[in-house]
Structure 1
Amino acid sequence: MVKAATRSFHVDKGEVIINEGERPDYVYLIVKGWACRYKLLKNGDVCIMTYLIPGDPCDVHITILDVMDHSIRALTPMTLIMFPADEMRNIMENHYRLARALFWSILVDEAILREWLVNMGTRPAGPRLAHVFCEMLIRLRIAGCAEDHSFEFPLTQAELGESMGLTPVHTNRVLRKLRQEGLVSLEKKRLTILDWERLKQFSQFDPIYLHCQNLPR
């Protein structure tokens, strides 16, 4: 995969990396920064479907499906690596172990999406947001981007709301409640989970869908 990479490049916060409807010639892997999968509705509303962090491929599924059915946007300044889609198809067809790793990544991505559907459809606003905090701690730990129970959390309240189906005002209110309960602190774009066990219980968080072993204690 390293030999197949053509180059790395940088994008600015807010830049659209791939638009819905495009047929990308490259698969993008995140080296640094955060992005999101999202849908832009005709009325201008935005629905963020998941966050992407270092180590995540943005669009590996285009090696089979060709067309993007959603968009990818940078939530922070980012560094990405480009892989030619044809080279990626060759890897998937001729290199079993690499193909298996890519397939594993796709399956975990789908598992996260399923959990987000449950989160949006069944949990009240407080547990909904707490669940995402739990998920991001584990994912960022795997990526080597979290220290103990603390990590950089660069999202605005508007971006949080777009992923939770909440207005910025409601998001602010929920965050304030989580702080008051002594569950989290959020200062200078850094989130710290103050009581991991209580936050898990409050959000009904079960990390099984992330299929990993590097779990916080």
Structure 2
Amino acid sequence: MRILIVEDDAALARGIVSLLHAAGHAVDHVDCGEEALSVLATEPFSLVILDVGLPDIDGFEVLARLRARGDQAQVMMLTARDGLDDRVRGLDLGADDYLRKPFEVEELEARVRALSRRRGGDAAPEMRIGAMTIHRSTGRVEVAGRAVDLRRREWAVLEALATRAGQIVPRETLQAEVFGFDEPVGSNALEVNVTRLRGKLGADGPVIRTVRGVGYMLDRS
């Protein structure tokens, strides 16, 4: 899943980026509201982790503008404020979740996983496609009982395809979800990761089909 962190506390932002990178997500960071709106106008993100107390416009204004222009990215708001009115305001403006600072990293990870499942239309902690089981809460993958060791980008490719199993995922969509805009990306980087993933899933795993000129599709069987 591709995630944008909007947080002006540099140390906190670095920690969140590192944590979510390690969990297999493509993560980008900006430190003010106007830059967030600019980036979100041109780049696709599945989740925005949005601080309320930004130095230019606050997170509520960012959220209001996003929803006003029809942006459906999921939004988790972060705040040091403890007032019920603030939480209600954020949810009424269209936030999907609300997390109060300071927070434990395990809770942040769990909330991101829950939002990822909601985005895929399936709230279950496990996904089963043919002989493959994806344990979404731990990031483990098994094929016919065999553990599959995936690198971060391979996991991101698999998650993007598995949440849309049976559907064609355009190459541009897949690449946007796997790579952040600050990551160096070779012209064939996506193909390399798809090839590695196919090899690791093996003959018992679901087939990743190439739809020439369009993208990829993970078979349901």
* Both structures adopt the same fold (TM-score exceeding 0.5): no
Could you tell me the TM-score, scaled by structure 1's length? 0.35
